[in-house]
Amino acid sequence: MTKMPATNEQQNIAKAFLAARAKKTPLTLYPGAMPETMGEAYAIQDAAIGFDGRMVGGWKVGRIPAELVGRYGDNRLAGPIFSDEIFDGGAGERPVMPVYTDGFAAAEAEVLLCLGDVGTRDYDIDSVRDCITDARTGIEIASSPYPAINRHGPAVTASDYGNNKGLILGPSIPDWRTADLIRMPVEFFIDDTPVGAATMETMLDGPFGSALFLIRTLRARGIAIHAGTWVSTGAITGIHEIRPGQRGDALFDGKIRVGCTITG
């Protein structure tokens, strides 16, 4: 992927999404020509990050459906998670997470990896663990003022921050370097009702593959990777739509719990 500078129209799309997020008003239509490639999507995303001005504390990684991989040239997408929208829920805390009430809103159980000094070395699926300092359970909040954000393909999803609105850091996973993460059972509940259960066997090459993808993608975009950057590695049990007033809880390995309350 070659980094593309944003056109005037792409900058206007970025500004429209920023304005809708700031004013908390829904976008009934996509604010311009929909991006057709991941390069175009990341040009919009990069412009929005620049206009936004907040510090990026992490990145969400999402899966591109297998039937679209050939068209978009990759099997994952990325979006920024801003530092002021990352909350610690590791000590039994239940952060209150805002979403766009008239837009799209969902919660996802994810494994979160903290990157240390990535440097310039090349990594593979095994060696990428060398630059990871922590692995935690967590929940990604996916929300956009555009309700149809996920209905028009991964480029549209990526163009609005990858449909991210925050991250909850759950407890660390004991012995994560040697644990069989891929087969760890994960469940998700909304208001104590089970809505999804799976293992990371459904996640391509798992959470470390997501970290590898992100390092490669950010380097191609010319984005520095700072020590302490979080990687939300992808939905395990599914993308669970959620509404203000509801509670979301993820249970990892039958014993590690992280939760949040949703507000509008």
Tell me, what's the pLDDT at 4? Answer: 76
Q: How far apart are CA 220 and CA 96, in angstroms?
A: 35
Tell me, what's the pLDDT at 92? Answer: 79
- Number of structural domains (the chain) is 1
**Per-residue pLDDT tens digits of the chain, which is 264 residues long:** 667 789 999 999 999 999 999 999 999 999 999 999 999 999 999 999 999 999 999 999 999 999 999 999 999 999 999 999 999 998 778 999 999 999 999 999 999 999 999 999 999 999 999 999 999 999 999 999 999 999 999 999 999 999 999 999 999 999 999 999 999 999 999 999 999 999 999 899 999 999 999 999 999 999 999 999 999 999 999 999 999 999 999 999 999 999 999 999
Neighbours of 212 (CB within 10 A): 21
Residue 211: inside a domain, yes or no?
Answer: yes
Residue 2: inside a domain, yes or no?
Answer: no
Residue 167: inside a domain, yes or no?
Answer: yes
Please report, for the domain that includes residue 200, its CATH number.
Answer: 3.90.850.10
Beta carbons of 137 and 252 less than 8 angstroms apart:
yes
Residue of 42, 44, 43 lying closest to 13 (CA atoms): 44
User: Which residues form the domain of 58?
Assistant: 8-263
What is this structure's pTM?
0.96
Helices H / strands E in the chain, number of each: 5, 13
Residue 232: inside a domain, yes or no?
Answer: yes
Residue 215: inside a domain, yes or no?
Answer: yes
Residue 43: inside a domain, yes or no?
Answer: yes
Residue 132: inside a domain, yes or no?
Answer: yes
Residue of 162, 159, 214, 144 lying closest to 41 (CA atoms): 159
Residue 3: inside a domain, yes or no?
Answer: no
